[in-house]
């Protein structure tokens, strides 16, 4: 029987229309270099998005051509999020922290036609621009010198000039909800980055999942601080979720250090925030020595991208009443796939145990674990295998690649993450396949060692990598940044671990550094550490 329901496509235009009309007075608030905050209402952003779409059309953007952004989190970036996909083009958020080679590769692979760039990052774009062969127009926000970008055959224009005099309405086309809305490249930790193209439908459904009560619970009472960059898996969907919910968006621009973030929280009172654990670790450390700031407006902090140390969650809860919620996902999963929100009816210790996991799949996402032989393993809390997922906002292929048997299996995405799932579907990741430490034929979880060591009072940052070992094939090397004024010995740290993990997991190799290198999205860069180690650049103490 045919349903009697209307077939109304789920599109970004629908998200934008809802936000800019029903919640027209909600605001996007962007931190400025002088510490002030620039405010635009959703209604205004809807009008400016129409102007941007008219101007892009006027500059020749047609069909599903790619319009790239090279921007921090700010109002103009939100306008591009609204305008570009809603006019039928594809928004390509370029990660401005990638290397010039990666930016060139990605920009050409996506065939970007237009780049919208923040004035503050023109110096990053200018050197690579001549190699972005499909780009015909560059639009620059802010009041900066455009000369470094100019060359023959390229239109370079200021953002405000570009949209000025354009009509404040646009005839948003009826789009197929399955067509591409936005694309994002994986950061390419192995091989070349791969393009993920989100559809209108996947974007809409993912935004609803983010707003759901057991998701991030975004509502019209909220002010959402999106610290996670808009080029990192669409700021975890927070922008579109805020438009659906009518929540204010608070944007830190390029000021992502603990001090400006804490000042911003103190002054603007966000209720929800999202960022990777390294940022929250910095914030916590800063607050310990700057007690006058008030961050207690935050109710919920979404944290993920790498495993969230329990001590970090507990510190925020106990000192500031802030609920840090761990979530797991990938660029390929839009990204929200699972979230650790155990039932409040469980006893407190059990809730903490479960909050330290990667959580349960959100409705819409299915999950399984599979062993090396392709066998699906039981969810018994003990069997360990590769995590595979599927669902309407999980990518089923990569842009420009017909088939990638390596990354997909029977309609499931192979995540490259290894872990176990318990009877209630809570996932515990033990490692990424490429980070697993294989010692004497058995696996050592680098993540588990890191999470435990992060709880030592003298440790500021820590990551654990596998390094070659003649006898055992690989052994763990702990790379540690100690807190100011502290001087723990390797033996102290090893003793701290003793009894918490199997004896043979205890690292005998230790390296003390001033900072752990981070990836373009703020995670510990294990690949770089492994090569520093093999190049003999790390001082290693053996005990």
Residues of the shown chain interacting with ligand ADP in the complex, contacts defined by CB under 6 A:
186-187, 189, 233, 304-308, 326, 328-331, 358, 415-417, 429, 432, 519, 521, 523
Kindly name the residue from 69, 186, 333, 463 that is annotated as catalytic. Answer: 186
Residue 232 Cβ vs ligand ADP, minimum distance, rounded to whole Å: 6
Asked if 418 and 436 touch (Cβ cutoff 8 Å), the reply is yes
Catalytic annotation on 72? no
CA dihedral 172, 177, 183, 185 (to 10 degrees): 180
**CA 465 remoteness from chain centre:** 22
Q: How far is the C-alpha of 521 from the C-alpha of 56, rounded, in Å? A: 29
Q: Which two tokens stand for residue 515?
A: 């900072």
- State residue 259 phi and psi, 5-degree precision: -65, -55
Q: Which is closer to ligand ADP, CB of 456 or CB of 526?
A: 526
Residue 441 Cβ vs ligand ADP, minimum distance, rounded to whole Å: 23
Residue 40 Cβ vs ligand ADP, minimum distance, rounded to whole Å: 28
Residue 145 Cβ vs ligand ADP, minimum distance, rounded to whole Å: 33
Q: How far is the C-alpha of 243 from the C-alpha of 250, rounded, in Å? A: 13
Collapsing DSSP to helix, strand or coil, 477 comes out as strand
Q: Which is closer to ligand ADP, CB of 169 or CB of 433?
A: 433
Question: Cβ-count burial of 17 within 10 angstroms (0-12 exposed, 13-18 middle, 19+ buried)?
Answer: middle
Kindly name the residue from 314, 319, 366, 443 that is annotated as catalytic. Answer: 443
Asked if 16 and 78 touch (Cβ cutoff 8 Å), the reply is no
Q: State the residue number with the nearest CB to ligand ADP.
A: 187
Kindly name the residue from 39, 99, 438, 500 that is annotated as catalytic. Answer: 438
Q: How far is the C-alpha of 498 from the C-alpha of 504, rounded, in Å? A: 10
Catalytic annotation on 366? no
Q: Which is closer to ligand ADP, CB of 262 or CB of 340?
A: 340
Q: Which is closer to ligand ADP, CB of 46 or CB of 329?
A: 329
Kindly name the residue from 76, 332, 448, 461 that is annotated as catalytic. Answer: 332
Asked if 298 and 287 touch (Cβ cutoff 8 Å), the reply is no
Q: Which is closer to ligand ADP, CB of 149 or CB of 478?
A: 478
Catalytic annotation on 288? no
Q: Which is closer to ligand ADP, CB of 188 or CB of 392?
A: 188
Residue 191 Cβ vs ligand ADP, minimum distance, rounded to whole Å: 11
Question: Cβ-count burial of 330 within 10 angstroms (0-12 exposed, 13-18 middle, 19+ buried)?
Answer: buried
Best CA proximity match to 76, nearest among 99, 101, 51 = 51
Q: To which H or E segment does residue 223 belong?
A: strand 223-226
Residue 309 Cβ vs ligand ADP, minimum distance, rounded to whole Å: 10
Residue 190 Cβ vs ligand ADP, minimum distance, rounded to whole Å: 9
Sign of CA dihedral 517, 523, 524, 526: negative
Q: Which is closer to ligand ADP, CB of 139 or CB of 453?
A: 453
Strands 442-444 and 437-439: antiparallel
Q: Which is closer to ligand ADP, CB of 246 or CB of 416?
A: 416
The overall longest dimension of the chain from CA atoms, in Å, is 72
Residue 524 Cβ vs ligand ADP, minimum distance, rounded to whole Å: 10
Sign of CA dihedral 420, 421, 426, 432: positive
Collapsing DSSP to helix, strand or coil, 289 comes out as helix
| Alpha helices per DSSP H over 476-543 | 490-497, 526-534
Catalytic annotation on 332? yes
User: Taking the CA of residue 180 as centre, how many other CA atoms within 13 Å lie in the half-sphere pointing to its CB?
Assistant: 22
Measured CA to CA in angstroms, residue 151 lies from 45, 106, 115, 148, 487 at distances of 31, 21, 15, 9, 54
Active site positions, annotated: 186, 332, 438, 443
């Amino acid at each position: 029987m045919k349903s009697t329901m209307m077939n109304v496509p789920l599109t970004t235009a629908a998200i934008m229309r809802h936000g800019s009309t029903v919640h027209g007075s909600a605001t996007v608030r962007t931190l400025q270099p002088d510490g002030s905050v620039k405010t635009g209402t959703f209604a205004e952003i809807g009008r400016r998005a129409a102007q941007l779409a008219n101007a892009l059309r006027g500059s020749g953007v047609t069909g599903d051509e790619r319009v790239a952004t090279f921007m921090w989190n700010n109002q103009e970036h939100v306008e591009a999020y609204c305008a570009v996909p809603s006019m039928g083009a594809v928004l390509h958020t370029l990660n401005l922290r990638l290397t010039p080679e990666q930016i060139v590769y990605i920009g050409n692979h996506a065939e970007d036609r237009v780049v919208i760039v923040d004035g503050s990052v023109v110096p990053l774009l200018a050197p690579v621009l001549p190699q972005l062969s499909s780009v015909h127009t560059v639009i620059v926000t802010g009041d900066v010198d455009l000369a470094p970008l100019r060359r023959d055959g390229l239109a370079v224009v200021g953002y405000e000039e570009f949209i000025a005099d354009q009509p404040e309405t646009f005839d948003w086309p009826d789009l197929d909800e399955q067509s591409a809305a936005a694309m994002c490249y994986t950061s390419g930790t192995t091989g070349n980055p791969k393009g993920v193209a989100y559809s209108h439908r996947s974007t809409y459904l993912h935004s609803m999942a983010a707003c759901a009560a057991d998701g991030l619970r975004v509502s019209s009472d909220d002010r959402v601080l999106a610290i996670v960059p808009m080029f990192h898996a669409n700021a975890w969907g927070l922008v579109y979720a805020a438009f659906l919910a009518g929540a204010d968006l608070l944007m830190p621009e390029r000021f992502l250090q603990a001090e400006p973030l804490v000042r911003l929280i103190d002054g603007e009172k966000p209720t929800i925030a999202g960022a990777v654990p390294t940022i929250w670790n910095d914030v916590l450390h800063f607050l310990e020595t700057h007690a006058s700031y008030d961050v207690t407006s935050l109710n919920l902090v979404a944290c993920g991208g790498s495993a969230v140390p329990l001590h970090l969650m507990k510190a925020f809860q106990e000192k500031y009443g802030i609920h840090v919620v761990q979530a797991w996902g990938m660029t390929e999963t839009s990204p929200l796939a699972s979230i650790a929100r155990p039932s409040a009816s469980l006893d407190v210790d059990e809730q903490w145990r479960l909050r330290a996991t990667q959580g349960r799949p959100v409705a819409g996402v299915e999950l399984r674990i599979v062993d090396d032989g392709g066998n699906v393993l039981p969810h018994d809390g003990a069997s360990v295998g590769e995590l595979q997922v599927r669902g309407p906002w999980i990518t089923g292929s990569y842009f420009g690649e017909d088939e990638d048997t390596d990354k997909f299996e029977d309609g499931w995405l192979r995540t490259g993450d290894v872990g176990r799932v318990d009877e209630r579907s809570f996932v515990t990741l033990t490692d990424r396949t490429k980070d697993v430490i294989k010692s004497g034929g058995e696996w050592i979880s680098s993540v588990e060692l890191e999470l435990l060591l992060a709880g030592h009072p003298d440790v500021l940052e820590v990551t654990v990598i596998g390094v070659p070992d003649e006898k055992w094939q690989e052994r763990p090397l702990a790379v540690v940044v100690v807190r100011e004024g502290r001087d723990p010995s390797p033996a102290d740290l090893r003793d701290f671990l003793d009894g918490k993990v199997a004896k043979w997991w205890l690292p005998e190799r230790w390296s003390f550094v001033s900072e752990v290198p981070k990836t373009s999205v703020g995670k510990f860069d294990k690949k770089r550490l492994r090569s520093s180690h093999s190049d003999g650049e790390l001082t290693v103490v053996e005990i």
